[in-house]
Amino acid sequence: MQKKLIFSLLFIPFINFNALAVNTSGDTAFINQLAYNMDVDSLVSRWYNKQMSPGNDTTFVVEDFIDSLYIPDYPDSVYKARLAQLPTVFDMSYNPIIRNYIHMYTHKRRDMVERMLGLSDYYFPIFEEILDANAMPLELKYLPVIESALNPNAVSRTGASGIWQFMYYTGKMYKLEINSYVDERRDPIKSSYAAVAFMKDLYDIYQDWTLVIAAYNCGPGNVNKAIRRSGGKHDYWEIYYYLPRETRGYVPAFIAANYVMNYYGEHNLTPKKSELPILCDTVVVKNRMHLEQISHVMNIPVSEIRNLNPQYRRDIVPGQGKSYVLRFPYNQTTRFIELQDSIIAYNDSIYFNPEAISKAPEYNTYSSGPPTKDHRKLTYTVKSGDNLGFIANWYGVNVADLRNWNNIYRNTIRGGQKLAVYVHKNKVASCETIDDMTFEQKQARIGKSTVAKAMEAPETTTTGEFEYYTVRRGDTLWDIAKQYPGVTDTDIMRWNGMSNGRNISIGQQLKIKVKG
């Protein structure tokens, strides 16, 4: 093994960075390009803590130290030559706009690029297989890099969703299922087929792949307008300034993504290992199940199942006779098939209430029939001074039921109106005479003190510091308040717990405080 030059910790502060910079690819801007402005002291401190851990050697490798800090930049000629070497059908142009995007990826968004490099081991084989099967340029696999940063759950501010960033109607147009449970825009496989179909249609229009990806971003309508405004030119860079501002950066970002994903090593970018398994397999299910059921029975973290199946937006596979696909690590598919019945049965009453699909009102609340077979219908004719509260009390029913049985909105009833009242068969004998009783008899029947009828002169009853006023036809709170010096309609509402002064009814008793 080739020996490396090793220094002790004591020599670190004395490294001549300027000399090192001159010796590294001729780049004289080394100090200015130190990653994230990290200074030597903080690096030494982290190194020291790490090196003093058990099992670590206390020596320091200068090459590792340099590589961890150095972010190289290259002359334009180098970038141009590297892009020209890429085996692509695209015109890999190079200009200051593209250089800025390369600089963004290699300097400002290093962490994001390193995460995407790790994810590419999982996603790129999926994209490449589908692109190759359709005779499409394989470099289109880099489109999701700039669309979603390889995040299948990405949602744009305009509502585009998934790893290929489909809008709702475009996704529907290309046969992606989108509903409350499933969003196939987030399915890396199905959305890739849809994206390929979309781009093939765009290529049939433009016969130019650069214009295809521009139209993928802003729609063919905007590209067509840019072509017309440019005088009929079909070169992307000639219609550049006629395109929407966002799309102007789209193609340069795509070219920069091609560069970075191929030459990341030259910029000291290191792929971050992804938790997604490289080898996966799929199973087809027709039963409804929750991802947590699968997780508990198979002892797989639910986050792993969710990451492999991002299309199930509520962690539920709808099933119900329709086939759906679940993706697993390749060594788990056989276990799932063996345990499928146990998974479906696991806490099924908790995850899915079997009674919910057959729920109905406990009893019929409309006049088309009795609440139960043990109830009988009686008819009551509304008299002057009646209100729904009185009638409900006389028959021993709820006001809400009385309204529902008779399709009454709020509490409005009128004299002579016929009301259906349903009472239990055991109470029919005692209730069927209520319609013929006087107001006093009906009140006495339920143990209430007799009050005057609504059409008679208003009656007040004094109890301690309050009087009770019986509402007559035509009364308003303002009229009633005028009869009591120093009392306002607001006072009456407060004393009677009312939120709306217009909701008073004939025969209602209002509590009014007696003043001095």
Residues identified as active-site: 147
Q: How many helices (H) and strands (E) does the chain have?
A: 23, 11
Backbone angles phi, psi at 39, to 5 degrees: -95, 170
Identify the CA nearest to 332 among candidates 298, 301, 309.
Answer: 298
| Look-up of token digits 């339920």 | 446
User: Cβ distance 458 to 419 under 8 Å?
Assistant: no
Report residue 294 as tokens. Answer: 């699968």
Q: How far apart are CA 393 and CA 397, in angstroms?
A: 7
Q: How far apart are CA 78 and CA 83, in angstroms?
A: 9
- Cα distances from 234 to residues 207, 210, 300, in angstroms, run 10, 10, 52
469: three-class secondary structure by DSSP: strand
Query: CA torsion angle for 117, 122, 127, 129 (degrees, to 10)?
Result: 130
Backbone angles phi, psi at 248, to 5 degrees: -60, -35
Q: Give the pairing type, strands 466-470 and 509-513.
A: antiparallel
Identify the bridge partners of residue 381 per DSSP, sorted by sequence position: 418
Residue 249 DSSP code: T
510: three-class secondary structure by DSSP: strand
Q: How far apart are CA 306 and CA 293, in angstroms?
A: 12
Q: How far apart are CA 258 and CA 88, in angstroms?
A: 9
Q: How far apart are CA 427 and CA 405, in angstroms?
A: 18
What angle separates helix 188-206 from helix 209-218, to the nearest 10 degrees?
120
